[in-house]
């Protein structure tokens, strides 16, 4: 244990003392940049999974001491395999669902949907963009209207609106 700590301190000292030398660059590339690239590839789901896994390991260690650590060590490989199989299983399910849709609707329908997808995406993007609104012009009132006239009596109703007025 002391040897590993000493080697880590030596590597840190070389990286800090001479960052532009060949050993300093090699240590930085291997100990800093490579793990940083690997951490950048982690998604939110994997981070949550590993956090829950660490919490389960900590709970087992606190509750059962050494036996909990042995149990966690035995459980960990199976959990990792289960997680990998779950990810693959999701992809297989998606492929099976796509195959079922193709079988039910036919290849022509699938081609039509794939061909219509870019137009549909463009419409969705266009709907989200703010449009420039033109200011409304006030409608001129007729000059020969009576003083007590409030304007037109009938207002345009939207299609499908069938309300009756009793006034």
The reported pLDDT for the residue numbered 1 is 74
The reported pLDDT for the residue numbered 100 is 79
The reported pLDDT for the residue numbered 42 is 82
d(CA 110, CA 117): 11
pTM (predicted TM-score)? 0.36
The pLDDT tens digits along the chain (167 residues) read 789 899 989 988 998 898 889 988 998 899 889 999 988 888 887 888 788 888 888 888 888 888 888 888 888 888 778 777 766 666 677 777 777 777 777 777 777 877 888 898 888 888 877 766 667 777 766 666 555 555 555 555 555 555 555 54
Side-chain-facing half-sphere of 160: CA atoms under 13 Å: 0
Task: Check the CA dihedral 116-121-124-129 and report its sign.
Answer: negative
* Phi, psi of 160, deg, nearest 5: 90, -5
The reported pLDDT for the residue numbered 34 is 92
Tokens of 97: 């669902």
Q: Which of 104, 60, 105, 97 is nearest to 79 (CA)?
A: 60
């Amino acid at each position: 244990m002391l040897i590993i700590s000493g080697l880590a301190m030596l590597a840190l000292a070389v990286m800090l003392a001479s960052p532009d030398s060949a050993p300093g660059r090699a240590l930085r590339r291997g100990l800093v940049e490579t793990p940083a690239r690997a951490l950048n590839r982690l998604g939110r789901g994997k981070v949550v999974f590993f956090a829950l896994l660490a919490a389960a390991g900590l709970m087992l260690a606190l509750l059962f001491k050494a036996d909990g650590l042995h149990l966690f060590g035995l459980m960990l490989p199976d959990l990792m395999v289960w997680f990998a199989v779950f990810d693959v299983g999701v992809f297989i399910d998606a492929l099976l669902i796509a195959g079922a849709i193709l079988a039910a609707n036919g290849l022509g329908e699938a081609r039509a949907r794939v061909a219509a997808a870019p137009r549909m995406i463009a419409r969705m993007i266009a709907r989200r963009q703010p449009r420039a609104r033109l200011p409304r012009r006030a409608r001129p009132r007729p000059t020969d209207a009576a003083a007590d006239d409030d304007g037109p009596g009938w207002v345009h109703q939207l299609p499908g609106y069938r309300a009756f007025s009793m006034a």
